[in-house]
């Protein structure tokens, strides 16, 4: 979901692959057929928007130092009106209603609803940009890990994945008229392939039904398993995303003990190595967990 406070995106575009140690060669798995030209133009447009709109690390450092930044504070006697971005209208509209109805029919889950995101209505309807987005959560609604910041249900033995879910997700998304879809999932350490095959199948079925759809896969770390990372990287996605969540010093405080900073960075490096040229690779961090200017840099 979009947030009014854009998360710090670190795009790990490693041009010098020789600096990556102990990585396997380029993927030997056969990627899907290349996307049509209009889709490439859409992805190029996304790249330009990210470059223009995303804040840089220097932006955050400048705010920390109070350079070029000031805020007017109201008082009880003279309160200031809340900014427009803090106010959201009640979700509604034709596109929103259609999406919600289809989710219930196919028993699909979204991060948007699970997290009770206040921007849900804007994202599903297209908002100011007119680009409708949604974040689908696959592999069930129960996670095998227990990160401190997350409120998703947890279990060592969650129910098995729905084998029809990839098809249901693809058919639903193709009917919604969305332009950009984010597919994410719970962690499934209980599965032999940790859900990577289910992830790849979902992406491929979406691309089959709607080749021009931009698909972002926000994946777990797969415990650093190279075969799992490779399988998803060559599935036909446009953006491979995996969140490091917080700075290295706070990993053990914020994340489950089975996750760590180095493992996540290695997953992103492997994805960049395996994915076809032009695929975006990204990560995000949460601010406000106790990081310092030094650790954030």
For the purposes of burial, counting CB atoms within 10 Å of the CB of 217, is it exposed (0-12), middle (13-18) or buried (19 or more)? Answer: buried
pTM of the model: 0.71
Instruction: At 43, give phi and psi (nearest 5°).
Output: -65, -40
pLDDT tens per residue, range 75-84: 888 888 877 7
Domain count, the chain: 1
Whether the Cβ atoms of residue 143 and residue 150 lie closer than 8 Å to each other: yes
Describe the crossing of helices 261-274 and 226-233 by its angle, rounded to 10 degrees: 40
Range of the domain at 221: 88-296
Q: Is 231 inside a domain boundary?
A: yes
Q: Is 64 inside a domain boundary?
A: no
Partners of 8 in beta bridges: 285
Partners of 153 in beta bridges: 142
Q: Is 117 inside a domain boundary?
A: yes
Cβ atoms within 10 Å, residue 195? 26
One pLDDT digit (tens) per residue for the chain, 297 residues? 444 333 333 433 433 333 333 344 456 666 565 444 445 566 777 777 777 777 776 776 676 666 555 567 678 888 888 777 667 677 777 778 888 888 888 888 887 787 677 778 878 777 666 666 778 999 988 999 999 888 788 899 999 999 999 999 999 888 877 788 899 999 999 999 999 999 999 999 999 999 989 999 999 999 999 999 999 999 999 999 999 999 999 999 999 999 999 999 999 999 999 999 989 999 999 888 888 877 766
Among 187, 140, 143, which Cα is nearest to 160's? 140
155-185 b/e (C-beta count within 10 Å ≥ 16 → b): eeebeebbeebbebbbbbbbebebbbbbbbb
The per-residue pLDDT for 176 is 79
Q: Is 51 inside a domain boundary?
A: no
In the numeric block, which tokens belong to residue 22? 């102990």
Q: Is 70 inside a domain boundary?
A: no
Q: 289: Cβ–Cβ under 8 A, 6 or more apart, which residues?
A: 149, 246, 247, 250, 253, 254
Q: Is 71 inside a domain boundary?
A: no
Q: 80: Cβ–Cβ under 8 A, 6 or more apart, which residues?
A: 72, 73, 74
- Identify the residue whose tokens are 């259609």: 98
CA 209 from centroid of its chain's CA atoms: 21
Looking at residue 121, which CATH number applies to its domain? 3.20.20.70
Q: Is 220 inside a domain boundary?
A: yes
């Amino acid at each position: 979901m979009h947030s009014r406070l854009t998360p710090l995106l670190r795009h790990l575009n490693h041009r010098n692959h020789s600096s990556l140690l102990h990585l396997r060669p380029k993927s030997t798995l056969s990627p899907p057929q290349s996307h049509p030209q209009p889709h490439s133009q859409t992805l190029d447009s996304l790249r330009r928007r990210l470059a223009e709109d995303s804040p840089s690390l220097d932006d955050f450092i400048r705010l920390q130092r109070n350079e070029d930044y000031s805020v007017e504070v109201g008082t009880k006697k003279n309160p200031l009106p809340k900014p427009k971005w803090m106010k959201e209208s009640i979700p509604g509209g034709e596109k929103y209603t259609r999406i919600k109805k289809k989710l219930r029919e196919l028993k699909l889950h979204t991060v948007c609803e699970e997290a009770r995101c206040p921007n849900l209505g804007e994202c599903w309807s297209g908002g100011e940009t007119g680009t409708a987005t949604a974040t689908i959560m696959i592999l069930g609604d129960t996670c095998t890990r227990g990160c401190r910041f997350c409120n998703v249900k947890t279990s060592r033995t969650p129910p098995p994945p729905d084998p029809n879910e990839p098809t249901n997700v693809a058919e639903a998304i193709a009917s919604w008229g969305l332009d950009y879809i984010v597919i994410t999932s719970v962690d499934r350490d209980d599965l032999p392939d940790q859900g990577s095959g289910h992830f790849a199948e979902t992406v491929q079925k979406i691309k089959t039904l709607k080749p021009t759809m931009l698909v972002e896969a926000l994946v777990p770390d797969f415990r650093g398993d190279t075969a799992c990372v490779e399988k998803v990287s060559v599935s036909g996605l446009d953006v491979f995303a995996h969140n490091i969540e917080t700075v290295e010093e706070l990993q053990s405080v914020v994340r489950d003990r089975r996750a760590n900073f180095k493992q996540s960075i290695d997953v992103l490096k492997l994805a960049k190595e395996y994915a076809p040229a032009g695929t975006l690779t990204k990560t995000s961090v949460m601010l406000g967990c106790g990081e310092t200017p030094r650790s954030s840099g």
